[in-house]
Amino acid sequence: MILCDIGNTHFHFNKDGRIFDEKVCNIKNEKIYFISVNDKKTKELIKKNPNSVNLANYVKFNTAYQGLGIDRIMACKTISDGVVIDAGSAITIDIMANNLHLGGYILPGIKAINDSYANISEKLDINFNFNIETSILPINTSEAISYGGIGMIISFIQKVAKNQKIYFTGGDGSYLAKFFDNSIYIKDLVFRGMRKTIEEI
């Protein structure tokens, strides 16, 4: 079985348990179960794999949220209680309680926040230092930018999550998870939701 989560910038594939990313779809003439937030990449996938199945047409999910993205639905689908965070190009934060999706938030991703500093000043065009200690007061511009940008995300998650269990996924999920004692990183969380949807068809 081949699963594909089409994101804003990449095709995320799960084939025979192996997870890999591609900027273009290099798989042809296969039956692929997919979800997508990118219409252009969806057309590319279907053109190369006409028998593919869009799981958005079959998913069952309990939420009052209007317009909840299919990627967020799949990330939440196997979590009954807790905070689900998909940290990719954007960071989505969703609250689950008793298998009900209560609502959530969307933040810019780490890269988007880092890139935004250059729009303020050329002097702030500095890559984040990911080896930060958020309890220490920054003493140079590199630290100030890194602590400010990453710390802003961490502080917001702390405010929202409180004492709930946090489930991280996405490209930056494993990095952010290390700042929280009550967290777990699940690389294939979206794919787990996709498998559950296939079982329900």
As annotated, the active-site residues are 71
Strands (E), the chain: 2-6, 11-15, 18-22, 32-36, 53-54, 82-87, 90-97, 100-108, 166-169, 183-185
The amino acid at residue 63 is T
Task: Kindly give, in sequence order, each residue whose CB lies less than 8 Å from that of residue 116, ignoring residues fewer than 6 positions away.
Answer: 108
Strand order in the sheet with 100-108: 100-108, 90-97, 82-87, 166-169, 183-185
Query: What values do phi and psi take at 44, rounded to 5?
Result: -65, -45
Residue 86 β-bridge partners: 92, 169
